[in-house]
Amino acid sequence: MARPPRVRIISTGSEILQGLYPDTNAQNLSRLFFEQGFEVVGHSAVGDHRPRTRATLENALSDAELVVMTGGLGPTEDDVNRFVIAELYGLALVRDARAEEMLRERFRYRGITMPERNVVQADLPAGCRTLYNHWGTAPGFFLPPVQARPALLALPGPPKEWRPMIERAFEEEISDLFPGRPRRRVYSLHVSMTAESTLNEALSDLFREGQDTELALLANRGHIRIRLIATGEDDADLDRRISAMRAKVLDRIGEKLPYSEGQDATTLEEALLAAMQQRGLTLATAESCTGGWVAKALTDIAGSSATLVAGWVTYSNEAKARELGVDPGVIEEHGAVSEETARAMAEGARRKSGADIAISVTGIAGPSGGSEEKPVGTVWFALSDARGSEARRRVFPGDRDAVREFSMRQALELVRRRILSLDLDAPLHPSSL
Ligand code: ATP
């Protein structure tokens, strides 16, 4: 198989080195190039400093077939990338008339006079292919390899600007320049609230099989991504291998365990809302330790009003009684964090909202408030619907934030399992247990 072309990524901006924002460009570009059959051999971040940017770029140019730089294309003194690139490639900077016109038009449209120094953004290395920026001011550019210099892609810093530009660069420049590179397919299966170790065990022989199609597990507070990666030369063969591996994984974990498939970026709340909308079901939430996080996760998604009818945050015992009709005697006898209280909260929320299904969460997020019987991390959940009510106790690890995030995800996953008639507890398909 062809060797993947080597890419180096350079992020520029002193703010990155001062820790003001994370270098997500390096992360997202790495993923993109990996999926496109390249090997990313290094990242660097450099401040707005001409000699250091020069040294970083020089180093990258000696060890890559393609260098990708982001940021540093603005109009100010400290935006040095265009000068450093032109210098190292031995090219003059030439004004791009269309880029200049686009800059002027952008300012005209906003009713602002363009400061003359901004026009420097249209000065690009001679012979480059301009990547016009319809989403911001700084144009990017692509330099094909010249003599001993590898290809270079210079992009502005903001992700919403460089994303569409790099798509064009792939179509028009990069794909043709590296035609023989391996092809890759990345396919993700997203699973919620299943122990990573259980999944690991169920899939262990597939990890070993993995030369042909790699398998990886990535876990983060109750969200596990099972990632399938196939590398090869032929698209049809890659599709076949991914589909064969997917079938083996589903055979072990159960068809319905993943809440979504395919895409890398997707959330449980999106999947739950889609499943509820499909069935025309409505939901209410009654939260204590999550402080409204479950309702917030759902209402972050446009169109959630068709599903979420109401949400309560009942933190005190009085509020549980007053707002949801929980019998104070139940709280007194069993405690606020108990099966009985969780059930009464869910039943109350369903009754008061008229929703088809209600979910309640009541737990001890910590750091204080735990006991031997109910340690920090103990959380009770209850579901109430026309079939009756179901309650579950879970004990989550970690600090307050972790317990609350696990709880939010568990609440959503319990509702999803209830409406799909899946076992609320089984971590995996019965055949694999
Ligand atoms: P412009 O001046 O037109 O915004 P630029 O190319 O000069 O473009 P910078 O000034 O370096 O870009 O960065 C602009 C913004 O882009 C930053 O404030 C930040 O929000 C985002 N950004 C820049 N680099 C990165 C990075 N490596 N990771 C994530 N975001 C970044």
Mutate which of 20, 25, 44, 81 for ligand 1 pocket (most atoms within 8 A of beta carbon): 25
Work out the number of other CB atoms within 10 angstroms of the CB of residue 395: 14
Burial pattern 208-236, b for ≥16 Cβ within 10 A else e, equals: eeeeebbbeeeeebbbbbbebbbbbeeee
Q: Which atom of ligand 1 is nearest to the CA of 26?
A: 27
pLDDT of residue 101: 95
**How many angstroms separate the alpha carbon of residue 108 from the centre of ligand 1?**
23
Q: From ligand 1's centre to the CA of 157, what distance in Å? A: 3
Among 254, 187, 178, CA closest to 417: 254
Q: For ligand 1, atom 13, name the residue with the nearest CA.
A: 157
Q: Separation of 79 CA from ligand 1 center, angstroms?
A: 10
Band of pLDDT at residue 147, cut at 50, 70 and 90:
confident
Q: Whose CA is nearest to atom 1 of ligand 1?
A: 74
Closest CA to 46 of 30, 70, 65: 70
Q: What is the pLDDT of residues 281-313, one digit of tens each?
A: 999 999 999 999 999 999 999 999 999 999 999
Beta-sheet pairing, 129-131 with 140-143: antiparallel
Residues at CB less than 6 angstroms from ligand 1: 11-13, 16, 21, 23-25, 70-74, 79, 136-138, 156-158
Which mutation among 31, 70, 133, 135 tests ligand 1's pocket best, with the greatest number of atoms within 8 A of CB? Answer: 70
* pLDDT grade for 243, boundaries at 50, 70 and 90: very high
More confident: 426 or 15: 15
Residue 258 pLDDT > 60, yes or no? yes
C-alpha angle 84-86-89 in degrees, rounded to nearest 5: 105
The predicted pLDDT at position 210 comes to 60
pLDDT of residue 430: 45
- The larger pLDDT score, comparing residue 210 to residue 208, is at 208
Report how far residue 125's alpha carbon sits from residue 249's, in angstroms, rounded to the nearest whole number: 50
Q: Is pTM beyond 0.85 here? A: no
Residue 91 and residue 154 in contact, taking contact as beta carbons nearer than 8 Å: no
Q: Give the least confident one: 41-55, 112-126, 220-234, 282-296.
A: 220-234
CB atoms within 10 A of CB 88: 16
Q: Residue 125 phi/psi, 5° resolution?
A: -60, 135
Q: Ligand 1: which atom is nearest the Cα of residue 156?
A: 6
Mean pLDDT of the chain, nearest integer: 93
Is residue 88 pLDDT above 70, yes or no? yes
Task: Return the residue whose CA atom lies nearest to atom 23 of ligand 1.
Answer: 157
Name the residue of 10, 14, 21 to mutate for ligand 1: max ligand atoms within 8 A of Cβ.
21
Average pLDDT over residues 128-149: 93
- What pLDDT is stored for residue 433 in this prediction? 36
> Percent of the chain beyond pLDDT 90?
80
Q: Encode pLDDT of 4-62 as tens digits.
A: 999 999 999 999 999 999 999 999 999 999 989 999 999 999 999 999 999 999 999 99
Nearest CA owner, ligand 1 atom 31: 157
